[in-house]
């Protein structure tokens, strides 16, 4: 994704007589000033990126992207009567994510780059939480990516339970890279002691890294590279100085498209 942001140069144009609004893409602006990217700070806050999820950025929002998916190993030996098709296919579906906040005009008028950085970090921190809430949730709606925890089993807070979880992934020929779990489950696993050790010690479960995100509704382990997160070249930034002009406040809205899809369901095992 190539968009650069400079909040002072991205202003909502409003014709008071017509009540019009003109939105302008950050990509089209030529401010001549140093500006900051939205993608790098977003990924720094995203636990899914740390877990090894496949990040595809710079996607064109006007095009359909078809991903190969497989419930099993799609490779096979072919004889004269064998079928040619190994993979099934699915479309990567973008969903629009919005962050909106109020900023004093005095702060917005500062020329110090740290102000832009502060505002970008504020927005991307909130956006990363919403991405994880969707992907590491159990809901499936048309307005956001489907959660991977739909139909997940009840958690077994034992060392043997974690080993069984790892085995279910390895049995599908998917190497486990790490665990993701929320703070409540982490606390439980750190208290439960089996075979002379706690199920979770520090940020480690059965020898694998354990990443904590309160956006997760449960615990999951597996090959996170099979989870594709798409970031589109569709960033829109609007600064509205009119709605709260009497308070010397501008409303900043950042909007861009995000997609997420798990390529192989059995490459990640999860419990709630």
Q: Give the pLDDT of residue 16.
A: 35
Over residues 247-256, mean pLDDT? 89
Q: Half-sphere exposure (CA, 13 Å, Cβ side) for 226?
A: 25
* pLDDT exceeds 80 at position 30: no
- Name the architecture of domain 4-29+36-70+88-147+225-263: 2-Layer Sandwich (3.30)
- Domain map of the chain by residue range? 4-29+36-70+88-147+225-263, 159-224
* Radius of gyration, alpha carbons of the chain: 22
What local confidence, expressed as pLDDT, does residue 117 receive?
Answer: 80
Domain 159-224 has CATH 3.30.2320.10: yes
pLDDT in tens, 133-186: 999 999 988 899 999 998 888 888 889 999 999 999 999 888 999 999 999 999
Return the pLDDT at 125. 93
Enumerate the H helices of 56-145 as residue ranges.
Answer: 105-108, 113-135
Q: Any idea which of 55-59, 63-67, 128-132, 192-196 has the lowest mean pLDDT?
A: 192-196
CB 37 within 8 A of CB 138: no
Residue 207 scores a pLDDT above 90: yes
Q: What is the rounded average pLDDT of the residues 201-224?
A: 96
Q: What is the mean pLDDT of residues 120-138?
A: 94
Mean pLDDT (the chain) is: 82
| Cβ-contact 205, 246 below 8 angstroms | no
pLDDT at 35 over 90: no
Give pLDDT, residue 28.
34
CA neighbours closer than 13 Å in the CB half-sphere of residue 127: 29
Q: Residue 82: helix, strand or coil by DSSP? A: coil
Q: Is the pLDDT of residue 202 over 80?
A: yes
Q: How many CB atoms lie within 10 A of CB 32?
A: 8
The burial of 42, by beta-carbon neighbours within 10 Å (0-12 exposed, 13-18 middle, 19 or more buried), is given as buried
Q: Specify the higher pLDDT residue, 240 or 244.
A: 244
The per-residue pLDDT for range 94-108, each reduced to its tens digit, is 999 999 989 898 888
Give the pLDDT of residue 119.
Answer: 83
Q: Which of 3-12, 94-103, 118-127 has the lowest mean pLDDT?
A: 3-12
For 135, the token pair is 């992907």
Count of CB atoms situated within 10 Å of the CB of 46: 23
| Range 222-230 average pLDDT | 96
Alpha carbon distance, N-terminus to C-terminus of the chain: 34
Q: Do 260 and 229 meet the contact criterion of CB atoms below 8 Å apart?
A: yes
């Amino acid at each position: 994704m190539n968009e650069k942001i400079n909040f002072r140069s991205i202003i909502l144009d409003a014709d008071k007589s017509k009540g019009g609004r003109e939105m302008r893409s950050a990509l089209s602006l030529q401010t001549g000033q140093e500006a900051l990217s939205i993608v790098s700070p977003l990924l720094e806050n995203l636990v899914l990126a740390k877990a090894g999820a496949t990040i595809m950025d710079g996607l064109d929002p006007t095009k359909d992207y078809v991903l190969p998916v497989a419930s099993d190993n799609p490779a096979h030996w072919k004889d004269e009567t064998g079928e040619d098709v190994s993979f099934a296919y699915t479309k990567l579906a973008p969903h629009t994510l919005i962050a909106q906040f109020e900023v004093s005009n005095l702060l917005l008028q500062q020329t110090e780059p740290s102000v832009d950085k502060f505002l970008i970090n504020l927005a991307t921190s909130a956006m990363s939480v919403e991405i994880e809430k969707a992907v590491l949730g159990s809901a499936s709606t048309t307005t956001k990516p489907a959660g991977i925890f739909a139909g997940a089993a009840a958690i077994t807070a034992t060392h043997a339970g974690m080993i069984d979880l790892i085995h279910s992934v390895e049995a599908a020929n998917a190497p486990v890279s790490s665990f993701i779990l929320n703070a409540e489950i982490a606390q439980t696993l750190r208290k439960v002691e089996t075979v002379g050790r706690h199920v979770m010690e520090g940020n480690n479960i059965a020898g694998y890294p354990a990443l904590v995100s309160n956006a997760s509704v449960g615990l999951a382990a597996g090959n996170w590279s099979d989870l594709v997160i798409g970031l589109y070249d569709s960033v829109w930034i609007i600064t509205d100085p009119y709605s709260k002009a009497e308070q010397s406040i501008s409303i900043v809205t950042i909007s861009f498209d995000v997609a997420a899809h798990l390529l192989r369901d059995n490459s990640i095992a999860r419990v709630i």
